[in-house]
Structure 1
Amino acid sequence: MPFTATTCRAATCRAAAAGLLVAAALTLATGCHGAPGKGGDSSVTAVSPAPAPPVPDDGNPPRGRGGRVACTPEMLRFHAGALPRRERRMLLTVTNFSRRTCDFAAQRYPLLRFGNDRQPALPAIGASRPLHVVSLAPNDTAYATITTSAAGRPGGTGHRGRKISQFGVALAARATPTQVGLDGRAPVHVDPHTARVTYWQPCLDAARKW
């Protein structure tokens, strides 16, 4: 039976309300399970927004598993730039500026290409896969970390690599990549043969782990 003013005493209702508040706080605290540390800085100063057109609300976005709405480029603003205080790392963020909640159930990591579309997308870092599918409510943001080359070798093992100022991001297989420019347009040295990308992460602390 639900709690109402007529079915419980004032003291009982206060205790129930306190319990609900505690449960909500625990849900928020564990919403990014596995993120390193607590109280991390949620701001991203190394990236800047790219202009994007508004999304009409009378369309029919594609449905993912279980009838959920799949995130599409038209619903998102993309950001890309160096990850502060981390060598050989870039940060990709997507913010849902539509009025619908969407998720990445169909494709749980971004498909990135540094060059032409004939090259295969970057492999994902398997250990970075979250326990749950990342879902974006309106104005929410998801994150993915990109390792630009193999450890200890700026150009990657056996490859010279290249400098890039933008790259392609696709949210589904066989989809046309969206070109995302780097913050400040400063070129970044990338070796597409050894670069990797994480799965979408629900918070910045989780993305910084990689």
Structure 2
Amino acid sequence: MPITAIATIRRAATAALLVTATLALTAGCHDGTGPKAGDSATAVSPAPVPPSAHDDGKPPTGPDGQAACTPEMLKFQAGAMPRRAHRMLLTVTNFSDRPCTFAAQPYPLLHFGDDRRPPLPPIGSSKPPTKVHLPPNRTAYALIITSTAQGPEGTHPRAGKISQFGVALSARATPTQVGLDGRAPVHVDPHTARVTYWQSTLAATRKW
């Protein structure tokens, strides 16, 4: 056979092999048998998932849009008020570096004794005209009326002595236990006791 004819046959065979390989690769891309994860290819990252409202590291906000006060931001103190019968003072100081608000829960939820008992109801007339905001290093106040009736010894017959009680800043929060200043326990009747709304000044608290 002439050399020219042999060269022509070889070129035709090579071209046929190239066409077959191209068709095989094209089919592989459509039937899932294409390049594997380990093959050299350009990777496309999935779209990032936006963070949820609870994953951004920010404290919860109140209805006014400001950060709500949380227990880890605050220092609580409580004790009997001098020269005021059946009165106990609760103070809360913001020792964090950011302001917070009590707009979501405008009065402290106080628990005496059994935590299954509902928190003390607030004194409605003590509600301030504006929500209390607490800048860093500032203090808010609440007055606790420990009993609304007196027994023979100056306390209600059902009153019991307490040296600490629970304070919660929201209905679902676990109460923070607050000990009383001083050594003497205080008589509290959880059936008749009441608490004021948070007040921004001590003078406002003394009205009750």
In the superposition, the TM-score normalised over structure 2's length comes to: 0.70
Q: Which of residues 175, 199, 202 is equivalent to 2:200?
A: 202
Question: Can you give the 5+ residue segments of structure 1 that lack an aligned partner in the other structure?
Answer: 1-57
* Gap runs ≥5 in structure 2: 1-55
- The reply to whether residue 84 of structure 1 matches residue 82 of structure 2 is yes
The structural deviation recorded for 1:185 is: 3.9
Determine the C-alpha separation between the residues in 2 that align with 1:76 and 1:190. 24
Where does residue 173 of structure 1 map in the other structure?
171
Q: Work out which of the residue numbers 188, 191, 198 in structure 2 matches 1:190.
A: 188
Does residue 1:93 correspond to 2:100, yes or no?
A: no
Residue in 2 that maps onto 1:108 = 106
Partner of 1:71: 69
RMSD of aligned Cα (Å): 1.4
Asked if 1:135 is matched to 2:133, the reply is: yes
1:55 corresponds to: none
Q: Quick one: structure 1 residues 155 and 85, their matched pair in 2 at CA, closer, same or farther if it must change by over 3 Å?
A: closer
Instruction: Tell whether 2:112 aligns with 1:117.
Output: no
* 1:183 partner letter: D
Shift of residue 116 of structure 1?
Answer: 2.1
Looking at CA atoms only, which structure, 1 or 2, has the larger radius of gyration? Answer: 2
Amino acid corresponding to residue 90 of structure 1 in structure 2: M
Alpha-carbon deviation of 1:151?
Answer: 3.9
**Whole-angstrom distance in 1 between the partners of 2:64 and 2:72:** 21
Q: Distance in 2 between matches of 1:60 and 1:149?
A: 40
1:59-116 Cα deviation digits (max 9, x unpaired): 4211111321000111000000011221100000000000111010000000001012
Map 1:55-66 onto structure 2 (within 5 A): 59-66=57-64
What secondary structure does 2:182 align onto?
A: helix
SS at match of 2:140: strand
Q: What aligned pairs does 1:156-167 form with structure 2 within 5 A after superposition?
A: 156=156, 159-167=157-165
- State the distance in 2 between where 1:129 and 1:68 align: 20
From 145, 149, 161, the counterpart of 2:147: 149
- 2:149 touches 2:155 (CA, 8 Å); kept in 1? no
Taking structure 1 as the reference length, what is the TM-score of the superposition? Answer: 0.69
Which stretch has the larger CA shift, 86-95 or 62-71? 62-71
- How far apart, CA to CA, are the structure 2 residues paired with 1:95 and 1:188? 22
Aligned to 1:10: none
- Once the two structures are superposed, the pairs formed by residues 39-54 of structure 1 within 5 Å of their partners are none
**Per-residue CA shift, 1:29-51, capped at 9, x if unaligned?**
xxxxxxxxxxxxxxxxxxxxxxx
